[in-house]
Amino acid sequence: MKIVNFETDVDMNMSSYKGVIKTTYDKLVEKFGKPTYTDADPYEKVNCEWTVGADTDEDDYVKFSIYNWKTGYVPTEEYEWHIGGYGFDAVDAAYEIING
């Protein structure tokens, strides 16, 4: 799968955990811009999240989210960020954009 184009701030209602990607907050900001969602409350399950929709070279549209899980803060160091989506193609799309 090759990503042709992507956008951020897409609706990810009812998605679920599909995998992880080890990277830094700065790398995610470099690729996706500011997070779609942030919350500094240390008791929240998610403090930082990007939601992304990507067009592939196979004429598919894949939606995924990248978020921290139960850290109580926004991780800035290298961290295993969670990938959410509707299928495991979400993981492939996230890796393609971040490492591509």
9-63 per-position pLDDT tens digit = 999 999 999 999 999 999 999 999 999 999 999 999 999 999 999 999 999 999 9
Based on its alpha-carbon atoms, the radius of gyration of the chain, rounded to whole angstroms, reads 13
| Domain count across the chain | 1
Count helices and strands in the chain by DSSP H and E runs: 2, 6
pLDDT at 100 over 90: no
Neighbours of 85 (CB within 10 A): 23
CB 74 within 8 A of CB 68: yes
For the whole model, what pTM was predicted?
0.95
Q: State the residue range of the domain holding 23.
A: 3-99
